[in-house]
Structure 1
Amino acid sequence: MQRMKKQKIQDILDAQNAAIDADMNNKGKGRLNYLLQQTELFAHFAKGDQSASQKKAKGRGRHASKITEEEEDEEYLKEEEDGLSGTGNTRLVAQPSCIQGKMRDYQLAGLNWLIRLYENGINGILADEMGLGKTLQTISLLGYLHEFRGITGPHMVVAPKSTLGNWMNEIKRFCPVLRAVKFLGNPDERRYIREELLVAGKFDVCVTSFEMAIKEKTALRRFSWRYIIIDEAHRIKNENSLLSKTMRLYNTNYRLLITGTPLQNNLHELWALLNFLLPEIFSSAETFDEWFQISGDNDQQEVVQQLHKVRPFLLRRLKSDVEKGLPPKKETILKVGMSQMQKQYYRALLQKDLEVVNAGGERKRLLNIAMQLRKCCNHPYLFQGAEPGPPYTTGEHLIENAGKMVLLDKLLPKLKERDSRVLIFSQMTRLLDILEDYLMFRGYYYCRIDGNTGGEDRDAIGSEKFVFLLSTRAGGLGINLATADVVILYDSDWNPQVDLQAQDRAHRIGQKKEVQVFRFCTEYTIEEKVIERAYKKLALDALVIQQGRLAEQKTVNKDELLQMVRFGAEMVFSSKDSTITDEDIDRIIAKGEEATAELDAKMKKFTEDAIKFKMDETADLYDFDDDKDENKFDFKKIVSENWIEPPKRERKRNYSESEYFKQTMRQSGPARPKEPRIPRMPQLHDFQFFNTLRLSELYEKEVRYLMQTHQKNQVKDTIEVDEPEDVGDPLTAEEQEEKEQLLEEGFSTWSRRDFNTFIRACEKYGRNDIRGIASEMEGKTEEEVERYAKVFKERYKELNDWDRIIKNIERGEARISRKDEIMKAIGKKLDRYKNPWLELKIQYGQNKGKLYNEECDRFMICMVHKLGYGNWDELKAAFRTSPLFRFDWFVKSRTTQELARRCDTLIRARKGNDADCVFNGSWGGLFLIEMGHKTPVFVGIC
């Protein structure tokens, strides 16, 4: 039966795959016709193939391209069929009836674009801006195929793991007729899905993650797919990545890529996506790059025109174009000064790498300096040892020591008054920890979006949540927070696309209020140049492909980083005092609007000037130096005039000859003092029963003292700071003795294997049979086992899964108790006979059975009393060696399981009205003595 079922499923799968393969062959001609309509595009990328075919046809004259009459008739017939069936050019004026809800006009237009690609046998990229409903448009395409073309799949959606639940919900919500299966889970769950759910004819859409598409490619490649849809398609922008290579292995009719950022860095990424969609056309990256190598006066305009020619494969729309009813978005840059502590650390960071900043160094070192400076702009507590403590307390110092926190503390009450909801974004997750402490300190209801908060709770209209904390690094995960109307970018990303995605969390369909974006910026620091560069990057994007954000962008080079790091140094060195002002928040916002307007005007002029540059000269466009000589400054002069030299380190002088020659030959001198050796806390397992809480306290105290002493010394050596605060005390002699005693009290020699053996022995012998348990333990004396058993009885609740362990032990002890009671009851019966081997009588019920006889059953009961209940192997051997059953081949051929079942059958009995109950086991076993016989009768009922 099972084989027939498997064969039927395989037949369905073979028929399904054959139909899809046939469709794939049929769509080739339609694809060719469509590509020929894109004359220049096809001619350029396919000219190699055309030239080859022309060589082959050379010498055939006008007959070289002539088709036969049969071929012409077949083509006309196909065109007639397409015209009659309406499959040639479909345009929907209303959404498919299987799609629930109401699609917007531009979403219906997107569906028609997808249908046109389908009818022409072409793959495409749906690249609408985030928040325009790319998921709905994709699901509506599958619904259209289901309703109008009778195509139920199979389709495969490959997406980030965090969005799989959203995909399943959206399919169920918008197109419930589609049967969707989520292929995700541990090996056992995946095996069940493969065998029971991912079966031909049982599903329409398989939703899986990138990791599963790679790991389970063997199972997924059994199917020929109608559509393979890749969400967040920029994951395959590297054609050499494992994901990109794996996805090319799948057999499919159509491929659809979904991305809100079709290109983030360079034109080669666009080629990688197009190569995945149309490998036969965009086969060469060199040819693609050659297409954009344009020279002449109008080079910029020509690049734009060339990019527009790939638009038949790419649909890109912005909210500002299609969603007219969406409230506007207003961005304001709020500048703030630095606190005294921030200035101290900012100066110290520049001083530490003074030679790199002055002369320029490796790009990697400059990038590290830039990162440290940006941490200082965010909050000095991001540096280890900067926050006062321990004990660490949350107070006003958390706000006063960072300019941005002061600004945030002024801004949030104003936003709270007007009943706004706020999204705060930062790249640094540790900064989100600081913001959490601040929000708790001020008593604001907040939510940190990390997957633990339900969508209904966080996005409910009447929700008490006022602030949402998110990381900009978690972009593109389908998080919808349309009820929030204020976005605060605590720090800016190098890539402006990341910040745009963060803003789109609030500025999307469903937003009822005007969205305000506040971008925090620390004045006269590297952050000003990071923001300016981001604006310039977006301006260049707009030049290359209008509203497409597709620019030939380069990474930050060494010169750019050097200029960024140097920017604002004069202001930092000129004063140690805080530059945070006491201005009212309204005045700060007004100044921010003026600064934003100035930057916009500057970008407008920059856009006009940038037209004069070639695409490969964008590095010059990021030059931050002013052309006016009076605005330039001598960095070394600033340092020499304003720098306060740190105290010289006292070093022990060696006047040995070897040391003299080492210094003369510029060899390395004596090694620097090593960092303190941190005592390592031994790995403490729960089954070893250490006093973990107290040991942790002692180790933490010891480590905290050593680390803080070392950090204070380092800070004192590199930065001019006040005298270090009290760093606490080391462990006292009593505490050191207590630590050693606690380590001895635990069972450090007991391994996980010993513990598991102990538990199994407890199940077998019971917790009170120490001798029996010790017999199972290798390498442990009876005294050790007894000591461990005593502690185990008292502290077993400290184990992680103690309830499961105790249940197993109690179940084993119940078996032992039941066995003892059975043996006691059997012994009580047999003691009433002088010779039970011959005299024991068994009264059967109605179902005696024909195969076993009374002699056999009597022998079995007596032998169980002798050998013990449960020793079935010994019982089997006794039957085989007994002369009573020398020729009884039925009994001699019984297995241990069969003998055990027969014994249990003899023991189980019903309680009768005329019987005296001698034994009643916990599972209902009864031994009955009938009172009507002179001699006791053992009653067994089959």
Structure 2
Amino acid sequence: EEDDEVRPDEDARTAEEKLKSKNQQERIASTLAEAAQLKDSTDDKNKELVTIPFIIRGTLRDYQHVALDWMVSMNEKNLNGILADEMGLGKTLMTISMLAWLACERGIWGPHLIVVPTSVMVNWEMEIKKFAPAFKILTYFGTQKERRLKRSGWSKTNAFHICITSYKLVIQDQAAFRRKKWKYLVLDEAHHIKNFRSQRWQTLLNFNSKRRLLLTGTPLQNNLHELWAMLNFLLPDIFDDSSQFDDWFSLTDNDAEAPHENKNNQNKNMDVLNQLHKILRPFLLRRLKADVEKSLPPKREIKLLIGMTEMQRLWYGNILTKNIDVINAMGGSRGQMHNILMHLRKCANHPYLFEGAEQPPFVNDERLIRNSGKVLLLDKLLKKMHVGGHRVLIFSQMTRMLDILEDYCWLRDWEYCRIDGSTSGDDRDWAMETFNAPHSTKFLFMLSTRAGGLGINLATADTVILFDSDWNPQADLQAMDRAHRIGQTKPVVVYRFMAEGTVEEKIIERAQKKLYLDAAVIQQGRLAETSKALSKDEMLSMIRFGADAVFKSKSADEYTDADIDTLIERGEERTRIDDERFQQTSNSLANFSLGGEEKNMYEFDGEDFSGQKAAGGSWSLTLPKRQHNTSVREGGR
């Protein structure tokens, strides 16, 4: 009886929710139809494109002109959009051209607000001055006092046309930015607003802007909520309920072990994915370099499986045995698992990243090379590259690893530049100009993956070495594209170093799966998994994977030239096989999981440790105190 009493209210709420859902779907359908017409028009190769603004200094490539036409059409229909061209195609110039068109054809000079990562603020300013010097620019940065001074006159008409600032400062001074009426709000690297619960997203959403444009080379990195965050930011009146969005576009769970029994689910999933793609397509313009930049030389990636040295294997084994109770009993916290993973990753790079590994005297000598399989290979590879007239970019996530590589450069007398997160804007610009200068004698450019992945053009290099790989495959792609971009005249070869039989293999495998999923969403209309956070179980599987294999892999004590050639040949074959495997697997969502495979690790180096306890208590490592050369440090050599 109680159920009968509450059912009318429930029915009423259900009816109201259904009506709301229906109304929202009708609004979406109407907006989609209008946006789809514009997109179809953009795809028409015979369409007459809008005039390139006369204040633009320089020439737009054909595909850049098409993007300008699309952005103008979206603006004229009062729609916002996502320019999601692959990295290196010139989204900055395309955006400047669109703002210039508004000035020339509509008399709308601004004010516009462009929010960018801190590391590319100066780059945006330079690009606007280069291609559209008619614009008055306010580059908003500095101390609190300096920023207050910059704001003192900006209420005046035409105080500036374009304001460039960072995500950090736009949050700190949000009250001032909120009072201003902006014509266009442009977000570069728009995945910075992927979390709709973040203060950053909430703040920017409430800015007073007539139009919004999102720029990103990686429109979907993690899950469905990230897509909704972007769509809601573009069309807040339409995409206003994330839970309802989830209901419409959630995939059914499939049994990966029996995919043949889930034909109906797979068909339903494809219907959902096609539906999602229809929504995404009209608001997003994405082109790949391979499709539009025909003159760009090819890029080739080669995975190099590298054995660890005896010293590395000893340290790797010590880390595992010190934590054997945590690993075998699965009793450790997620934080503990993450720390173990980080220590294993350090060991895969170089044991000198640990306190006590390097023995005195602390001087640069051949031990620096002999004690790391990766540096052993790097040494041989760089000698070969130097003789061949190549120029090389080396990326690592660890600034301490860059310190060691810097010492290596001094040992081998290589001329180099370096950029990491602590490099100032002036030093950053100097390093790029020096490396790219005609007849530059700089052979190497070392960069931290995150700090060196944005706003940097190093197309004078033709070889990229990923000394270690990022958890996020998009960060590695951004790193590669520092060389493989407009202006490159040579084929680019990317060498991805992987310590054989270690956690690195599983990390790279997981990243590659993620990359294929992301590509499937945008280019094939498929949907990525709803969650990609690395779980404790996944970390445990990665740790266990390397436990036994690392002791059975061949020790890297020395490499000959023949070894290098063989390693590259095997790497090419491994890369080809992996690409084919992931491409095939990504076609079946039912079988496409990001989880690491299980592998028990009770045996180390032929010895059974299953009945033993961890030695020495908890494992705590601190940074080493290397004695670096101090005569030249920040800029390079």
User: Which band: TM-score by shorter chain?
Assistant: 0.7 to 0.9
Corresponding residue number in structure 1 for 2:556 = 580
Q: How much has 1:324 moved relative to structure 2?
A: 0.9
Higher RCO, 1 vs 2 (CA within 8 Å, ≥6 residues apart): 2
The within-5 A match list for 1:334-353 is 334-353=304-323
Q: In structure 2, how many angstroms separate the alpha carbons of the residues matched to 1:446 and 1:377?
A: 24
Structure 1 position 566 matched with structure 2 position 540: no
Q: How much has 1:474 moved relative to structure 2?
A: 1.7
Q: In structure 2, how many angstroms separate the alpha carbons of the residues matched to 1:610 and 1:210?
A: 34
Q: In structure 2, how many angstroms separate the alpha carbons of the residues matched to 1:548 and 1:440?
A: 50
TM-score by length of 2: 0.82
CA contact (8 A) 2:303 2:496 kept: yes
Q: How much has 1:475 moved relative to structure 2?
A: 5.1
CA contact (8 A) 2:602 2:608 kept: no
Match of 2:181 among 224, 230, 233: 224
Match of 1:594 among 570, 573, 578: 570
RMSD, matched Cα: 3.1
Corresponding residue number in structure 2 for 1:32 = none
Q: Report the residue type matching 1:298 in the other structure.
A: N
308-317 or 276-285, larger mean C-alpha shift: 308-317
Match of 1:105 among 62, 68, 87: 62
Query: Residues 124, 470 of structure 1: CA spacing in aligned structure 2 closer, same or farther, 3 A cutoff?
Result: same
Q: How much has 1:197 moved relative to structure 2?
A: 5.2
Structure 1 position 624 matched with structure 2 position 597: yes
- Asked which structure has the greater CA Rg, the reply is 1
TM-score by length of 1: 0.56
Corresponding residue number in structure 1 for 2:511 = 534
CA contact (8 A) 1:457 1:463 kept: yes
Match of 2:459 among 457, 463, 482: 482
Corresponding residue number in structure 1 for 2:43 = none
Q: In structure 1, how many angstroms separate the alpha carbons of the residues matched to 2:482 and 2:20?
A: 39
Corresponding residue number in structure 2 for 1:635 = 601
The within-5 A match list for 1:329-408 is 329-362=299-332, 363-389=334-360, 391-408=361-378
CA contact (8 A) 1:300 1:611 kept: no
Q: How much has 1:388 moved relative to structure 2?
A: 1.2
Q: In structure 2, how many angstroms separate the alpha carbons of the residues matched to 1:476 and 1:278?
A: 30
Aligned partner of residue 130 in structure 2, secondary structure:
helix
Corresponding residue number in structure 2 for 1:183 = 140
Q: In structure 1, how many angstroms separate the alpha carbons of the residues matched to 2:612 and 2:155?
A: 69
Question: Residues 868-925 of structure 1, C-alpha deviation per residue, up to 9 Å, x if partnerless?
Answer: xxxxxxxxxxxxxxxxxxxxxxxxxxxxxxxxxxxxxxxxxxxxxxxxxxxxxxxxxx
Q: In structure 1, how many angstroms separate the alpha carbons of the residues matched to 2:193 and 2:569?
A: 39
Corresponding residue number in structure 2 for 1:161 = 118
Corresponding residue number in structure 2 for 1:244 = 201
Q: Report the residue type matching 1:327 in the other structure.
A: P
Q: How much has 1:187 moved relative to structure 2?
A: 3.4
Q: How much has 1:219 moved relative to structure 2?
A: 3.1
Question: Residues 264-296 of structure 1, C-alpha deviation per residue, up to 9 Å, x if partnerless?
Answer: 111211111111111111101112212222553
Query: Residues 211, 400 of structure 1: CA spacing in aligned structure 2 closer, same or farther, 3 A cutoff?
Result: same
Query: Residues 516, 595 of structure 1: CA spacing in aligned structure 2 closer, same or farther, 3 A cutoff?
Result: closer
Q: Is there any run of 5+ residues in structure 1 with no aligned partner, and where?
A: 1-42, 53-89, 626-631, 651-671, 676-706, 712-942
Q: Report the residue type matching 2:535 in the other structure.
A: N
Q: How much has 1:547 moved relative to structure 2?
A: 6.6
Corresponding residue number in structure 1 for 2:5 = none
Q: Report the residue type matching 1:316 in the other structure.
A: R
Match of 2:227 among 270, 290, 300: 270
Q: How much has 1:642 moved relative to structure 2?
A: 6.0
The within-5 A match list for 1:317-328 is 317-328=287-298
Q: Is there any run of 5+ residues in structure 2 with no aligned partner, and where?
A: 1-17, 28-46, 253-264, 625-637
Q: In structure 2, how many angstroms separate the alpha carbons of the residues matched to 1:550 and 1:354?
A: 38
Query: Residues 348, 172 of structure 1: CA spacing in aligned structure 2 closer, same or farther, 3 A cutoff?
Result: same
Q: In structure 1, how many angstroms separate the alpha carbons of the residues matched to 2:453 and 2:603?
A: 47
Q: How much has 1:610 moved relative to structure 2?
A: 4.8
Percent identical among aligned pairs is: 50
Q: How much has 1:118 moved relative to structure 2?
A: 0.2
Q: In structure 2, how many angstroms separate the alpha carbons of the residues matched to 1:474 and 1:194?
A: 29
Q: Report the residue type matching 2:601 in the other structure.
A: F
Query: Residues 549, 591 of structure 1: CA spacing in aligned structure 2 closer, same or farther, 3 A cutoff?
Result: farther
Q: In structure 2, how many angstroms separate the alpha carbons of the residues matched to 1:191 and 1:557?
A: 44
Q: How much has 1:240 moved relative to structure 2?
A: 2.2
Q: How much has 1:434 moved relative to structure 2?
A: 0.5
Question: Residues 503-559 of structure 1, C-alpha deviation per residue, up to 9 Å, x if partnerless?
Answer: 011111110111010011111222122222222222333333327896225223333
Q: In structure 1, how many angstroms separate the alpha carbons of the residues matched to 2:229 and 2:613?
A: 56
The within-5 A match list for 1:874-913 is none
Q: In structure 2, how many angstroms separate the alpha carbons of the residues matched to 1:648 and 1:501?
A: 41
The within-5 A match list for 1:763-802 is none
Q: How much has 1:445 moved relative to structure 2?
A: 0.3
Q: In structure 2, how many angstroms separate the alpha carbons of the residues matched to 1:613 and 1:215?
A: 42
Match of 1:440 among 400, 410, 418: 410
Structure 1 position 302 matched with structure 2 position 278: no
Query: Residues 607, 218 of structure 1: CA spacing in aligned structure 2 closer, same or farther, 3 A cutoff?
Result: closer
Q: Report the residue type matching 1:565 in the other structure.
A: I
Question: Residues 169-211 of structure 1, C-alpha deviation per residue, up to 9 Å, x if partnerless?
Answer: 1111111111112222223333332234552223211222223
Aligned partner of residue 82 in structure 2, secondary structure:
strand
Query: Residues 461, 598 of structure 1: CA spacing in aligned structure 2 closer, same or farther, 3 A cutoff?
Result: same
Corresponding residue number in structure 2 for 1:234 = 191
Match of 1:467 among 427, 434, 444: 444
Structure 1 position 508 matched with structure 2 position 485: yes
Query: Residues 644, 117 of structure 1: CA spacing in aligned structure 2 closer, same or farther, 3 A cutoff?
Result: closer
Q: In structure 2, how many angstroms separate the alpha carbons of the residues matched to 1:218 and 1:638?
A: 59
